[in-house]
Structure 1
Amino acid sequence: MGLNVFWDNSNIWLVGRKVCEINEPGDEALFRIHFAHLFDFVVNDRNVDFAYLGGSIPPNNDDLWQRFRDLGVVVAQQERGAQSGGEIAVDEAIQLAIADRILDADEPGTIVLLTGDGNGYSEGKGFIKKLEQAIKHGWEIEVVSWDAGCNRYLRTFAEEKGVYRSLEPAYSRVSFISNKRWASKT
């Protein structure tokens, strides 16, 4: 079985802006992720069986979500809280999708998780818990994250039990600055 990619869009984008602040100070507002290049980096010429992205709206950016769909990614959009404006249940939706994939797949493969979020582990929930469950059911795991924002427990878990891949070396490939710098092809 091939890869099963689970993508926490907000985490990857928000931490990417912080990395931009270090690499290209002053351009954070124009920072963008090149989705196809990031997807190619994650996949690394391997077969993808399933891909899932969790993100929040508003903004209702149909073009953005369509770009993911064009890559073959299942897009799950969650509304933001009316009072707080914050994300509600995006991480939980991704975690449920991981659990469903673990239980529903005919045979184990590799789960690749794009996030740096390790919250909830001490309470027996969260992404690390889902990765533990995947391993228990015979799956291999990879975490792809920005070092600058990866939860230390998530990173250590991935390094000890699977693979951890840093996004910083691919910064110029997976990101661009709108109307200033385009993403490199390598």
Structure 2
Amino acid sequence: MDEDEESSQTGSVSSTYPASLGDFSSLRESLISFQPQHNILTNEWQGDDNVKLGNLSKIVSQLRKGGISGSSSREPSPRPQSKPTSPAPPAPRREQSLPPARGPNRLPSENVLNGISSQTISTEEPPTKRVNGTPTATRPNHVAPTSDFSRFGQILSYQTEMNGSLAFVFGTLQTIQEARNALSKKLSPRKKRDAALKRIYPDVASNGVHIFLDMSNIDISFHKCLRTRHQLPQDSRFNPMPRLNLTLLTEILLRGRQADRMFASCSILPGRSAEPRFVQDLRNLGYSTDVRTRKRVEELEQTSASAIGTTTVRYVEDLVDETLQTRMAESAMSCFQNPGTMVLATGDAKPAQYSDGFLAYVERALQMGWNVEVVSWRSSLSTSWRDTRWKGQWGDRFSVIELDEFVDELLDCYMTH
């Protein structure tokens, strides 16, 4: 064994490092038993055996960079006796980690942030006090780390109670083109399936796609998915409300296929002076929109402790599902001899007040030779659409597409430069 090999076994540090640190075995024992304050890391220090350790900051720096195997030591093997038949086995390594230096809390470095996963991190703080009756915003309490700080920005803001303090969700922003590219990549397996179905059912594929969008169901479930995605309470209230990118949603529904007809059904609160912005957005994309006004419903709540109850007012949808189901029936009848592909964007399946429900209309379309796709968020997808026995009778002519994997692309929050 040459001198270099022997020195590495006895704990002496090679001279290839920036500073000569001396006998590392003595140093290690001193470091294990010593936890210096941050402000003295640059001072000279002596060990328990009066060995001068030098500038401790250099040692700590080398250990943290991994340049020195500072967490391991090896005790020298006993000197051989007269003519041993075999060399003594080396002593086992004892792994110990260097105690962290104590000092003031600091923000993580960029290298540390790069190593953090892309999951949302909760750093929630106590709510702030109200000032003159006005809620003040808290510090950001949800951060999705990113290695590119130029893309770091606010994604969502929300409240956990009515008129409460605002909290924020921060994360990586993307451009609209990047969102399109990511969406196209995620849709690639589905497009391959579309091509296979086109070879099996060429006539159905050539008759185009009929889209039926239950906007209320899709939009409300979109908000639920965002809360789950960013680990927010399900009863939290977004402020302002996040917007669903209807252009990219339509790309998911069509996937490059020819659109024959597109219908959207939605509802608005009574007394509005103007339609919501998304209604015009739908029309610009080519949808025929059916906008229904919600119906006022008064409910009497009475507790057992009091004979006098309180009246609560709700506004519920009126004939929204029935209107969209009527559009489905019209398409099926008008294209009776040329069935195509129905794309139903809703998770609802139960019967409505004045109709048999979406499940019954889908089943009738399948019996008439249509291919059908149900597109929904997982949280609102009825178990009826998952029924394997019911699905099995239609083979590959019926399928379900869950939107959850596209939630980041569908959130209308993009970089503008």
TM, length-normalised to structure 1: 0.87
- Preserved CA contact (<8 Å) 2:385 2:400: no
State which of 51, 54, 66 in structure 1 corresponds to 2:280.
66
Provide the residue aligned with 1:100 in structure 2: 330
**Distance in 2, Cα, partners of 1:10 & 1:171:** 17
Q: How does 1:20-169 map to 2 (within 5 A)?
A: 20-24=226-230, 25=232, 28-29=238-239, 30-58=241-269, 60-83=274-297, 84-105=314-335, 106-120=337-351, 125-156=356-387, 159-160=391-392, 161=394, 162-169=398-405
Aligned CA distance change for structure 1 residues 31 and 155 (closer, same or farther; 3 Å): farther
Segments of 5+ residues of structure 1 without an aligned counterpart are none
**Distance in 2, Cα, partners of 1:38 & 1:15:** 14
Alpha-carbon displacement from aligned partner over 1:84-128 (angstroms, at most 9, x marks no partner):
41100000000010011100125100000000101129x981001
**Distance in 2, Cα, partners of 1:156 & 1:168:** 20
Aligned CA distance change for structure 1 residues 17 and 95 (closer, same or farther; 3 Å): same
Per-residue deviation, 1:61: 2.4
Query: Higher helix fraction: Structure 1 or Structure 2?
Result: 1
- Percent sequence identity over aligned pairs: 25
State which of 167, 182, 186 in structure 1 corresponds to 2:414.
182
| Letter of the structure 2 residue corresponding to residue 175 of structure 1 | L
**Distance in 1, Cα, partners of 2:329 & 2:257:** 22
Give aligned pairs, total. Answer: 178
| Letter of the structure 2 residue corresponding to residue 134 of structure 1 | A
Aligned CA distance change for structure 1 residues 124 and 35 (closer, same or farther; 3 Å): closer
State which of 167, 171, 183 in structure 1 corresponds to 2:407.
171
Per-residue deviation, 1:82: 2.9
Which structure has more relative contact order (CA 8 Å, sep 6+)? It is 1
Query: SS of 1:33's equivalent?
Result: coil
**Distance in 2, Cα, partners of 1:120 & 1:43:** 27
- Preserved CA contact (<8 Å) 1:20 1:28: no
Alpha-carbon displacement from aligned partner over 1:153-175 (angstroms, at most 9, x marks no partner):
02337854301111011111122
Segments of 5+ residues of structure 2 without an aligned counterpart are 1-206, 298-313
Q: Which has the larger radius of gyration?
A: 2
TM, length-normalised to structure 2: 0.40
- RMSD after superposition: 2.3
Provide the residue aligned with 2:219 in structure 1: 13
- Preserved CA contact (<8 Å) 1:142 1:165: yes
- Preserved CA contact (<8 Å) 1:117 1:150: yes
Query: SS of 1:31's equivalent?
Result: coil
